[in-house]
Copies of this chain bind each other. A is one copy, B any other.
Amino acid sequence: MDIGIVGLGLIGGCLGLDYRALGHRVYGVARREETCTAAIAAGVVDQASPDQAILAGMDLVVICTPIAAIVPTLTALVPHLAPHTVVTDVGSVKGEIVAAATALWPRFVGGHPMAGKAEVGLAAAELGLFRQRAYVITPLPETPPDGVDILDGLATSLGAIVLHCAPQAHDRAVAWISHLPVMVSTSLIQACLQESDPMVQQLAQQLASSGFCDTSRVGGGNPELGMMMARYNQGELLRSLRVYQNQLRAIADLIEQGHWDSLETLLQHSHDARSKFL
């Protein structure tokens, strides 16, 4: 297949390496000429250019830009696409994007490969990042089934675990397990910084160990990505935040009222239920 990748960062770079290893021809588009040169040198693409005209005739184009740039990128891309081209994206929010992108290009199929690394950018690209990771495909009722099949087949060939669902179900699910944790975790960092006794503040910083480290990790992650998740998944994130706030209030009430048996029962339930998510 001839596959185009727009945006040669970590995810675009990893997809390029994997697609080429599977024998596809890969064409890259990046804004900067240096990125194009680096992508060819790294073996991520066969050819690359800042000019989207390079993508005329592709079988599939994968938009790997940040969330906010997906729809503008597609708008600019449409004049260059062949009628049979399937377009997909890798955005971590799907509802608004799939609706807007489908209106621009009916052969758009939303996708979300759920893989990443702490490092970002093309230099961090590696083979096999998507192996054994979830790859969610989010068609609308009107999405052409052959386009869905093409994306499904490619994602499967990467070794990913392919799941299909409606865009809204995706956004609701990732609000719980991905976007809510960022806000919960960043609130922990912010709260700890509000200790006003400098001696206790210093002591807290000295005593923090693996528990604090793990619980605060996603809250100390990429600020732009965290903001974009909230911006593009505002409704579902707010819904999950309300449930979370009620839950936290219930736990604070148990502690305030000294209902220790109930608190232990709840902690036991969390202990048992957590394994469902792992």
Whether B212 pairs with A214 at a CB distance below 8 angstroms is no
A157 at the interface (CB under 8 A from B): no
Q: Which residues of chain B have C-beta atoms less than 8 A from A184's C-beta?
A: 184-185, 187-188, 215, 248
CA distance A212 to B181 in the complex (A): 6
Q: Which residues of chain B have C-beta atoms less than 8 A from A276's C-beta?
A: 205
Q: Which residues of chain B have C-beta atoms less than 8 A from A220's C-beta?
A: 270-271, 273-275
Whether B230 pairs with A263 at a CB distance below 8 angstroms is yes
Closest B residue by C-beta to A203 = B173
Q: Which residues of chain B have C-beta atoms less than 8 A from A192's C-beta?
A: 176-177, 180, 277
A251 at the interface (CB under 8 A from B): yes
A148–chain B nearest beta-carbon distance, Å: 17
CA distance A220 to B263 in the complex (A): 13
Contacting A176 at CB < 8 Å: which of B191, B249, B251, B255?
B191
Interface size class of A (residues with CB under 8 A): 35 or more
The contact string, 1 if C-beta is below 8 Å from chain B, for chain A 258-278, is 101001111111110111111
Label chain A's interface by main secondary structure.
Answer: helix
CA distance A251 to B242 in the complex (A): 12
Whether B214 pairs with A267 at a CB distance below 8 angstroms is no
CA distance A247 to B133 in the complex (A): 33
User: What number of copies of this chain does the assembly contain?
Assistant: 2
The contact string, 1 if C-beta is below 8 Å from chain B, for chain A 38-71, is 0000000000000000000000000000000000
Known: A172-B200, A238-B252. A177 touches B219 (CB 8 A): no
The contact string, 1 if C-beta is below 8 Å from chain B, for chain A 182-219, is 11111111111111010110011111110111111111
A136 at the interface (CB under 8 A from B): yes
Whether A181 pairs with B215 at a CB distance below 8 angstroms is yes
Contacts A176-B192, A194-B243 aside, 18 further interface pairs with beta carbons under 8 A come to A170-B203, A172-B200, A174-B207, A176-B191, A180-B192, A181-B212, A184-B215, A187-B247, A191-B240, A191-B244, A211-B218, A216-B277, A220-B270, A220-B274, A222-B271, A224-B264, A227-B264, A248-B248
Which A residues are within 8 Å of any B CB, using their own CB? 114, 133-134, 136, 161, 163, 165, 169-170, 172-174, 176-178, 180-195, 197, 199-200, 203-209, 211-224, 226-227, 230-231, 234, 237-238, 240-245, 247-249, 251-252, 255-256, 258, 260, 263-271, 273-278
